[in-house]
A and B are shown apart, each in its own frame.
Chain A
């Protein structure tokens, strides 16, 4: 059986199969290619999350660099009955809002220099989006196997898939806040001066979306004031701190529920299909730690959740901007 492995730290996915020599050969193809790098205004990023200030979106100098060993790749391709011209690469940009994918660059490894650099900025200007975009590099077999055949090796079998998730500093609220009214305070036995409250109403591993299983409340008056000038530095600063507190509460609940779901191995299984698993994976990736390490940290020290959530949401930058306004 073939399977894919995605590194939680880098976002890079590789193709793995130990049981079949042909597909194991595909794994060797991947080893002949170095991780692509996305260079943003001169700073290289590995595959994974690339966070930009909102004003940088669409105005950033982007360059993609990919290096490979032609001899090693040709040798591994030949072992599979393929040539370098039968191995194709594409650089794609996915619009996160519209149903549009743009192929920026495409070719075969037979005509690719060992180190390729592509300027993406001019082509990305038409794709500027406040929400962000994904740049994906994919390398795949563009012809059926004609050699040491394996029925598994078919057109489209990929051996490198690296994704750069280019995003503005996170939009604060993932969860829709409801007004924390007197009625809600009474129902949940909350003190009169309570400012916010996160109520988990379901199983975070079984729900279709986390928003189905979590109710978030913010004091009704405060919520209305936050909405008066939602894009102001002050409002954004408070929003992000509220959001971090809420997210920390959710992360702690995930850690608690994880124990009843068989621990991290089960949760962070191959497809990370549960909403809780995906959130853990995203927060871990953004903070450059393994999902397993994140879950362990949350279990051992609940207070670390707030730090992880603040870093994930870019709270430091937001608060800094707001305070500088006051100086």
Chain B
């Protein structure tokens, strides 16, 4: 199956032009076509990506009407795009495509250009140019966040968009960038306490550090939902005790 990609260097060239000229023209980046090893997937990539781009433009237009592109309303609009369109479209693509960061950079620069600009996501990480933090790439981050939101919404009895729109800090620093993303029960526990309003940025950073320390001696992947929630609460109480609360 053929699919479009944007390798790092042409993307860097486009980004550097932005730094020099001050205006971002993502869609002018020099893209390429790559082929998967197998051809069994009958997917019309071009049609799918054009449809996604059209939806993205509608979302971007709605975000532009808001007072702030970083408001919760903007988060909810992005959530609807990610959950209703982006994830269902791209989840059908072969794993070889979804495992190619150059593909996610293409989707970010070309397909989601309007969203990136409307949400003012101009940093290297958001554009998939920081190899140290690949999970910050806008399209990939939207996909992973939507996937986990859809997965956990039924058990938490909430809309997937409610989970998606929980704080960026919770998602980026404590789920998507770190090993916690591999442990469904722990993700669910973090989202549960996030919904409960019990994981503010101030609280979660020390808790996240404590969880990382516990991971050094415990395999958190074997915990069921209740055990993971208990572990998270134990960690929160431990941190609170350190703070004299």
**Residues of A in contact with B (beta carbons under 8 Å apart):** 2-4, 15, 58-59, 88, 90, 92, 94-101, 126-131, 138, 140, 142, 154-158, 161, 171, 173-179, 181, 209-211, 220, 223-224, 226-228, 230-231, 235, 239, 271, 275
A209 to B130 Cα, complex, angstroms: 10
In the assembled complex, which residues on chain A have CB atoms less than 8 Å from the CB atom of B8? 171, 173, 230
Whether A98 lies near B98 (C-beta < 8 A) is yes
A68 to chain B, nearest CB (A): 17
User: By the criterion CB–CB under 8 Å, are A98 and B219 in contact?
Assistant: no
Shortest Cβ distance from A270 into B: residue: B216
Shortest Cβ distance from residue A213 to the other chain B in the assembled complex, whole angstroms = 11
Q: Determine the chain B residues whose CB is within 8 A of the CB of A129 once the complex forms.
A: 95-96, 99-100
B7 touches A97 (CB 8 A): no
Contact B219 A138 (CB under 8 A): yes
Q: Which of B30, B98, B124 contacts A97 (CB 8 A)?
A: B98
Q: B13 contacts A224, CB within 8 Å? A: yes
Pairwise interchain contact A158-B217, C-beta atoms closer than 8 A: yes
Are the CB atoms of B9 and A140 closer together than 8 Å?
Answer: no
With A3-B216, A227-B30 already in contact, the answer to whether A99 and B130 are too (CB < 8 A) is no
Inter-subunit contact B95/A158 (CB<8 Å): no
CB–CB A101/B32 < 8 A: no
- Report whether A101 and B12 are in contact in the complex, using a CB–CB cutoff of 8 Å: no
Give the CA-CA distance A306 to B149 in the complex, in Å: 45
Interface check B10, CB cutoff 8 A = yes
How many CB-defined contacts (below 8 Å) exist between A and B? 138
The minimal Cβ–Cβ distance linking B103 to chain A, given in whole angstroms, is: 9
Decide if B129 is an interface residue (CB 8 Å cutoff): yes
- Chain B interface, number of residues (Cβ within 8 angstroms): 49
- The yes or no answer to B106 lying at the interface (CB within 8 A) is no
Contact A131 B99 (CB under 8 A): yes
Flag if B129 contacts A95 (CB, 8 Å): no
Q: Hey, which chain A residues are within 8 Å of B245, CB to CB? A: none
B residues whose Cβ falls under 8 Å from a Cβ of A: 7-10, 12-13, 15-16, 19-20, 30, 32, 37, 95-96, 98-102, 104, 124, 129-134, 140, 143-144, 147-148, 175-176, 181-183, 187, 213, 216-223, 227
Q: Which of A58, A99, A226 contacts B182 (CB 8 A)?
A: A99
CB distance from B37 to the nearest CB of A (A): 6
A154 touches B96 (CB 8 A): no
Separation of A177 and B130 alpha carbons in the complex (Å): 11
B9 near A230 (CB under 8 angstroms)? Answer: yes
Taking a contact as CB atoms under 8 Å apart, the answer to whether B32 and A231 are in contact is yes
For B6, give the chain A residue with the smallest CB separation. Answer: A230
Complex: how many Å from CA A191 to CA B182? 49
Closest 4 A-B residue pairs measured CB to CB?
A: A129-B99, A227-B9, A101-B182, A99-B181
| A22 CA to B11 CA, complexed, in Å | 54
Tell me whether B222 and A88 are in contact (CB under 8 A). yes
Q: Nearest B residue to A275 by beta-carbon distance?
A: B132
Contact of A99 (CB < 8 Å), options: B10, B148, B216, B222: B148
| A158 contact set on B, CB distance < 8 A | 217-219
From known contacts A99-B181, A179-B20, A209-B130, infer whether A156 and B13 are also in contact, taking CB-CB under 8 Å.
no
Contact A157 B132 (CB under 8 A): no
Task: Specify the chain A residue showing the minimal Cβ separation from B212.
Answer: A271
The listed residue (B13, B144, B148, B176) touching A227 by CB distance below 8 A is B13
Question: Which residues of A are found within 8 Å of B176, using beta-carbon distances?
Answer: 99
Contact of B99 among A130, A177, A220 (CB under 8 A): A130
In angstroms, Cα B187 to Cα A126, docked, is 24
Q: In whole Å, how far is A217's beta carbon from the nearest beta carbon of chain B?
A: 10
- CA distance in complex: A181, B21 (Å): 13
